[in-house]
């Protein structure tokens, strides 16, 4: 029941496979599409096709093989999560303001004028 609900009957699977193969054969980049978007679209087609073609017949699949497949999938998903977390980590640097030559010149001029005033008052 779950297989039919989420994947459809064999006829529906064959129809989906046929449609995806057709999309794959006619695949091309759109004019207003970025390379990243194109690659994502291509990967979606390939992954969907792969999943449909590799779908196991649960009526003949032994329980041990089902358990093994689910455990493998779980490990793969955890690995992908770890890779994504590592990619998201970033390094933050402490910002520091370095004085430019013009700012140093202004500081020297200010100190000089104050020193001259000081000398005049003395």
pLDDT in tens, 51-84: 877 766 656 767 777 677 777 777 887 887 776 6
**Integer CA distances (angstroms), 61 to 1, 9, 52, 80, 110, in order:** 15, 16, 16, 27, 86
What are the backbone angles phi and psi of residue 54, rounded to the nearest 5°?
Answer: -95, 5
Query: What pLDDT does residue 39 have?
Result: 93
pLDDT of residue 26: 92
Q: What is the pLDDT averaged over residues 30-40?
A: 92
Domain enclosing residue 74, as ranges: 6-79
Report yes or no on 36 lying in a domain. Answer: yes
Nearest Cα to Cα of residue 9 among 55, 70, 48, 69: 55
Report if residue 111 sits inside a domain. Answer: no
Residue 103 in any domain: the answer is: no
Give this prediction's pTM.
0.41
Q: What is the pLDDT of residue 13?
A: 78
| pLDDT for the residue 8 | 62
Among 20-24, 45-49, 67-71, 85-89, the range scoring the smallest mean pLDDT is 85-89
Q: For residue 70, give Cα distances in angstroms to 29, 62, 65, 67, 73.
A: 35, 13, 9, 5, 5
Is residue 94 one of the residues assigned to a domain? no
29 in a structural domain? yes
Mean pLDDT for all residues in the chain: 76
Using a pLDDT cut of 90, give the percent of the chain over it: 19
Quick check: is 107 in a domain?
no
Assess if residue 114 is contained within a domain: no
Q: How many CB atoms lie within 10 A of CB 42?
A: 14
Number of domains in the chain: 1
């Amino acid at each position: 029941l779950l297989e039919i609900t989420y994947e459809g009957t064999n006829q529906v699977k064959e129809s989906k496979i046929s449609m995806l193969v057709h999309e794959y054969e006619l695949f091309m980049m759109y004019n207003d599409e970025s390379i990243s978007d194109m690659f994502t679209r291509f990967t979606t087609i390939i992954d969907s096709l792969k999943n449909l073609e590799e779908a196991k017949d649960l009526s003949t699949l032994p329980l041990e093989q089902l358990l093994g497949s689910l455990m493998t999938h779980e490990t793969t998903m955890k690995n992908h999560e770890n890779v994504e977390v590592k990619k998201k980590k970033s390094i933050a640097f402490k910002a520091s303001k370095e004085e430019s030559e013009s700012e140093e010149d202004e500081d020297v001029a200010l100190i000089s004028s104050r020193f001259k005033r000081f000398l005049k008052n003395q």
